[in-house]
Amino acid sequence: LAKTTQPISMDSYEGQEVNITCSHNNIATNDYITWYQQFPSQGPRFIIQGYKTKVTNEVASLFIPADRKSSTLSLPRVSLSDTAVYYCLVAFDYKLSFGAGTTVTVRA
């Protein structure tokens, strides 16, 4: 299983863009990169998934460089409700190994 490294925590303010970078140096050729969001006492919620280049959906963007050894989740114009733990995962067979995640705190 590819190991991921993310910052432990990040602070931001409402309306700002938050970028969380995840390192996954030993990602395998078939691995996808997936980001999840988790609120306290809830199961993780899917945010976005990508394989290479850039992926965008209604809530976030995911930037993946050509070597795929890292990825950056971009949350545009965060609000207080975006305060949560964000997990970066890489897997091929969906046997996901969760790292520590990044606790994002959005302040007013």
Partner 1 sequence: GAVVSQHPSRVICKSGTSVKIECRSLDFQATTMFWYRQFPKKSLMLMATSNEGSKATYEQGVEKDKFLINHASLTLSTLTVTSAHPEDSSFYICSALGQGQEKLFFGSGTQLSVL
The contact set with partner 1 (CB under 8 A) reads 32, 34, 36, 41-46, 49, 87, 94-101
Residue 14, φ and ψ in degrees, nearest 5: -55, 140
Q: Which is nearer to partner 1, 29 or 94 (CB)?
A: 94
Q: How far is the CB of 69 from partner 1 (least distance, A)?
A: 21
Neighbours of 3 (CB within 10 A): 12
Q: How far is the CB of 100 from partner 1 (least distance, A)?
A: 5
Q: How far is the CB of 15 from partner 1 (least distance, A)?
A: 27
Q: Residue-wise over 39-71: b if at least 16 C-beta within 10 A, else e?
A: eeeeebeebbebeeeebeeeebbbbbeeebebb
Q: Which is nearer to partner 1, 36 or 106 (CB)?
A: 36
Q: If 0-12 CB within 10 Å is exposed, 13-18 middle and 19+ buried, where does residue 80 land?
A: exposed
Q: Which is nearer to partner 1, 13 or 46 (CB)?
A: 46
Q: How far is the CB of 52 from partner 1 (least distance, A)?
A: 14
